[in-house]
Amino acid sequence: MHVPDGFLAPTITLPAWCAAAPLWYWAVRRNFGTSSTESLPVVGSLTALAFVVQSIMIPIPGGTSAHLTGVAILAILYNPGVAFVCESLVLLLQALFFGAGGFTVLGVNALAMGLLGPGAAWLCYRALRRLSERGAAFLGAYAGMQVATLAVSLVLGLQHRLSPAYMPVPFSVTATAMMVPSLTVLGIVEGLYTVMTLSLLRKVKLVGPR
């Protein structure tokens, strides 16, 4: 669901950068200090896994593409701050080396896919984990995917409202094209991926019990 470079004007991308920059600073300071030595290998592995998962993209009408994010697991295992930094790193690497997403839209993509989505996943997981850990992880990842997708489609819709000459696709088309695959397929696959990865991590004891 990346927004590619050139799909959003600086009227949106610059404020998004201004909003994301202090959050990056805060999240890095809080989660990646000297005390993160033990967790860094797992975070690095999951970041790389998220990178691979996000590399498989299907273009859809409305200005973006459909793919899994694979970062809800980071929010569930650690916190949304870790997911935000890792997803931003994935987005930066994709933008710089693989031409996916982009540098100008990094703030928008990071806030939507790295903060709002994983934030929703984390809240959902925290609220439901007493009932069933796997169920909570699945629902959290599903909800996170929907929130991130909705956020991206809202931004693209806003761009169309601000300047149709810049972004010629209206919100109704963008939202339909993005939300239908997200609600029916991608959210479920993201949920299953998260549950599977969580179980595997517990099995190989890469992450200690909560």
Partner 1 sequence: MGLVEPRRSQAILVAWAVLIFALSALTGLPALAAASAAALLLFRHGALRELRRVAVTVVPLSLGLSLASWTWLWLLGQPPPVAPFVALTVRAGLIAFTTFSVLRRVDLLRALAPFPAASRMLVLCLAQIHALRLLVTESALGLRSRLPRKPRTRDVVRSSGAVTVALLTLSARNARDIGDAMRSRGFR
Q: Which residues bind partner 1 (CB under 8 A)?
A: 4-10, 13-14, 28, 32, 34, 37, 40-42, 44-45, 47-49, 51-52, 57, 59-65, 89-90, 93, 95-100, 102-104, 163-169, 173, 177, 196-197, 200-201, 203-204, 206
Q: Are strands 64-66 and 58-60 parallel, antiparallel or unpaired?
A: antiparallel
Report how far residue 113's alpha carbon sits from residue 48's, in angstroms, rounded to the nearest whole number. 16
Report yes or no: 142 and 191 within 8 Å, Cβ to Cβ: yes
Q: Which lies closer to partner 1 via its Cβ, residue 4 or residue 119? A: 4
Q: Which lies closer to partner 1 via its Cβ, residue 30 or residue 168? A: 168
Q: How far is the CB of 28 from partner 1 (least distance, A)?
A: 8
For residue 126, count CB atoms less than 10 angstroms from its CB and return exposed for 0-12, middle for 13-18, buried for 19 or more: middle
Q: How far is the CB of 19 from partner 1 (least distance, A)?
A: 16
Q: Which lies closer to partner 1 via its Cβ, residue 103 or residue 127? A: 103
Q: Which lies closer to partner 1 via its Cβ, residue 120 or residue 159? A: 159
Report yes or no: 160 and 168 within 8 Å, Cβ to Cβ: yes
User: At a CB cut-off of 8 Å and minimum separation 6, what does 12 contact?
Assistant: 108, 155, 158, 159, 162
Q: How far is the CB of 158 from partner 1 (least distance, A)?
A: 16
Q: Which lies closer to partner 1 via its Cβ, residue 51 or residue 125? A: 51
Q: How far is the CB of 33 from partner 1 (least distance, A)?
A: 9
Q: How far is the CB of 180 from partner 1 (least distance, A)?
A: 12
Report how far residue 174's alpha carbon sits from residue 154's, in angstroms, rounded to the nearest whole number. 8
Instruction: Kindly state the helix (H) or strand (E) to which residue 64 belongs, with its residue range.
Output: strand 64-66
